[in-house]
Amino acid sequence: MTGAVHIIGAGLSGLSAALKLSASGRRVVVHEATAFAGGRCRSYYDASVGMTIDNGNHLLLSGNHAALDYLRDIGAADRLIGPPSAEFPFVDLGSGERWKLSFNDGRVPWWVFDSRRRVPGTRALDYLPLARLLRAHPGKAVGEVIRCEGTLYRRLVEPLLLAALNIDPPQGAARLAAAVIRETLAAGGRACRPLVAREGLSATMIEPALETLRQRGGELRLEHQLRGFCFAADRVEALDFGSETIPLGSGEAVVLAVPPYAAVSLLRELTAPTEFRAIVNGHFRIDPPAAAPAILGVLGGTVEWIFAFPGRLSVTISAGDRLIDAPREELAKAVWGEVARVTGLPPTLPPWQIVRERRATFAATPAQDARRPGPQTRWRNLVLAGDWTDTGLPATIESAIRSGSRAAGLVAKVAE
Ligand SMILES: Cc1cc2nc3c(=O)[nH]c(=O)nc-3n(C[C@H](O)[C@H](O)[C@H](O)COP(=O)(O)OP(=O)(O)OC[C@H]3O[C@@H](n4cnc5c(N)ncnc54)[C@H](O)[C@@H]3O)c2cc1C
């Protein structure tokens, strides 16, 4: 017997589970606490800049195969744009130097042997110690496995791991750093092409997913927050939404796809990450210079990445906890000062917005990584999803989407 599957949370993990299940003919109902789908990956109209912007710049890589499968499923793969090959322009604010990292397509890293493609100021041999990360003990931190200093670290390893793990790299879990390197640098340039949702995150990843879900008979209930579970022996018997209780028949199941702090408030005995790191984004309404690359790495300042969108420049600062309480206008001015230096645009502050997501991702330390649960619970019709469940990846779109697919696969078995 196959009954409905109730998915709690309309972030990417919940949507990915809903799409997989509905594609196989299951009836799905997605319950979302807020008034919008997308969770931490969404767009909204911002009055300060007078345009629709994303809550944060999101970068995908061409090796994010689950995310690309998801986009193909919803007919939106062509909405991600990026250069034809894996190229990353950088600028160093301290020295004024500019260079372009340019990976070759195949798995053999020829780029390391080519001084025009690799990081300036490095030698091929400098890259060898990175292999140690791939063999690191799961409980180790990056800083215990490799030397976190020197030109290669500052110009490649630090920006890569800071962006992917959202933590000061020496503190990051070596296991997660290894997964990133395995799926990017070690997989060759074909897996490293940067991809950006130029028309916005919602138009690319969320709205087409909701439309596909509707076509497959799925239902989305917004402003419908789960308040509690009613358990009976080894299964969830009903879902408590406050004003409404939904009983679950045999063969019906639940995918809990909420952030870890919400999951723990619903399942008190759950072990889950308890520490988080912030991401700060600055958005500036201004036409980028014609030659501005879609994404530019910045070293030696506060800004880490500059994204160029039509009519807007946006910056990302990972592990931005130190900036959470900084006065907004001062921060906007400081950030714009760096952007103006790098782009040659006038120093006058254009219309701006600063978005600070305090709990952007769980803190990717070895200790927090060890608190990530698998998808199964002791209730046979309740499965977990979310970028924070143990996917072996840091908290990213790819992790969220893989967790949703995995949960869908397990739910399919509940009905057997
Ligand atoms: C600023 C920022 C920048 C980022 N940059 C990148 C990037 O460049 N590349 C990348 O790959 N990843 C990036 N990420 C991470 C990525 O956004 C997340 O990994 C992903 O969106 C998480 O999806 P999720 O479904 O696991 O969780 P969420 O998106 O948190 O979804 C959970 C949903 O559950 C809902 N919910 C909570 N409680 C309840 C309840 N009781 N009942 C019903 N619904 C509930 C929430 O409202 C939410 O909609 C970034 C994140 C942020 C915040």
Determine the average pLDDT of the residues in 189-209. Answer: 95
Burial (CB < 10 A; 0-12, 13-18, 19+), residue 63, is buried
User: Tens digit of pLDDT for each residue in 165-174?
Assistant: 999 999 999 9
Q: Ligand 1 center to residue 41 CA distance, Å?
A: 6
Following DSSP, what letter does each residue of 254-309 receive, concatenated? EEE-S-HHHHHHHSTT------EEEEEEEEEESPPPTT--SEEEEESSS--EEEEE
The stretches of 168-217 forming alpha helices (DSSP H) are: 174-183, 201, 207-215
Determine the average pLDDT of the residues in 312-330. Answer: 96
Give the per-residue pLDDT at 414.
66
Asked if the model's pLDDT at residue 129 lies above 90, the reply is no
Determine the average pLDDT of the residues in 121-128. Answer: 91
Q: Ligand 1 center to residue 386 CA distance, Å?
A: 8
Asked if the model's pLDDT at residue 1 lies above 60, the reply is no
Q: Ligand 1 center to residue 400 CA distance, Å?
A: 8
Q: Ligand 1 center to residue 250 CA distance, Å?
A: 30
Check if the beta carbon of residue 237 is closer than 8 Å to that of residue 224.
Answer: no
Q: Ligand 1 center to residue 269 CA distance, Å?
A: 22
Question: Tokens 């046979």 correspond to what residue?
Answer: 380
| The pair of three-digit structure tokens given for residue 80, joined into one six-digit string | 């991600």
- Ligand 1, CB within 6 Å, residue ranges: 8-14, 31-34, 39-41, 55-56, 58-59, 225-226, 257-259, 262, 279, 281, 357, 360-361, 386-387, 395-398, 400
Burial (CB < 10 A; 0-12, 13-18, 19+), residue 96, is exposed
Give the per-residue pLDDT at 274.
98
What are the Cα distances from residue 31, in Å, to 11, 143, 256, 410?
10, 41, 10, 19
Check if the beta carbon of residue 282 is closer than 8 Å to that of residue 267.
Answer: no
Q: Which atom of ligand 1 is nearest to the CA of 37?
A: 49
Determine the average pLDDT of the residues in 295-303. Answer: 97
Q: Ligand 1 center to residue 113 CA distance, Å?
A: 39
**Ligand 1 test: best mutation among 58, 196, 281, 362, most atoms within 8 Å of CB?**
58
Give the per-residue pLDDT at 256.
98
Indicate which residue's Cα is closest to atom 4 of ligand 1.
58
Pairing of strands 235-240, 5-8: unpaired
User: Tens digit of pLDDT for each residue in 231-257?
Assistant: 998 999 999 999 999 999 999 999 999
For residue 391, the surrounding DSSP H or E stretch is none
Q: Ligand 1 center to residue 97 CA distance, Å?
A: 36
pLDDT above 90: percentage of residues in the chain: 90
Give the per-residue pLDDT at 413.
76
Indicate which residue's Cα is closest to atom 6 of ligand 1.
58
**pTM > 0.95: yes or no:** yes
**Ligand 1 test: best mutation among 20, 29, 41, most atoms within 8 Å of CB?**
41
